[in-house]
Amino acid sequence: MKSKVNIDPRILIVIFIMVTTTLACQIFAGGPQAPSNEIYTSNNADNSVEQILESAIRDQDAETMAFTLSQDQITAFVAEKLAANPDIPIRSPQIILENGQADIYGRLEQSVLTANFHITMKPVVEPSGKLSLEISDADFGPLPLPQVLLDTISTSVNSFISDSFKYRGTHLRIDEIFISDGFVTIEGAVQQD
């Protein structure tokens, strides 16, 4: 004769609730909120990052150039790039430019977990004229981000920036970058590949 196993019905109810909750909905882990919930989109090609970069390259004076981008233009550019690549789990980006740094807000959606994040990055112009961004602060929901993940984010962002400063066989050598009051001004020169 088999022995009968008694399982408390409350345990079964708790297990059932946990399983159905996990399968049925996202778990929101919280995190820092962007100052505004507005998501920017680019409707005017003349104001797109690509158009401004193309114009600056075409109109350069004595092999030097400068151009200015607003945080709205950069946010729209990043949002369009993220929308074009659904494998990247970042949604609702918002970029705030002030005090010599970029504050990046967004939402990370991975499997059943959703969390807001905030990353502060400072631009660094390398002696070779390449622009890179260093992470100086990061918040991800209720959890601290491990250094390995911060390094991965930094590598991805810097690869993205490097690709963004290419246009029809040209690279932009950055000489100086200024970030203040919602705008970034980049000065440099065009280098042929």
Average pLDDT of adjacent 10-residue blocks, the chain of 193 residues: 62 64 57 63 57 72 79 88 80 91 86 80 88 84 70 76 68 88 89 64
pLDDT number for residue 130: 85
Give the pTM.
Answer: 0.73
pLDDT number for residue 154: 78
User: How is 116-157 classified by DSSP, letter by letter?
Assistant: EEEEEEEEEE-TTS-EEEEEEEEEETTBPPPHHHHHHHHHHH
Give the C-alpha separation, 83 to 78, whole Å.
9
pLDDT number for residue 45: 41
Q: Which helix (H) or strand (E) holds 60?
A: none
pLDDT number for residue 158: 76
Closest CA to 55 of 192, 190, 193: 190
Q: Are strands 170-180 and 183-192 parallel, antiparallel or unpaired?
A: antiparallel
Closest CA to 140 of 110, 119, 113, 123: 119
pLDDT number for residue 46: 46
pLDDT number for residue 162: 72
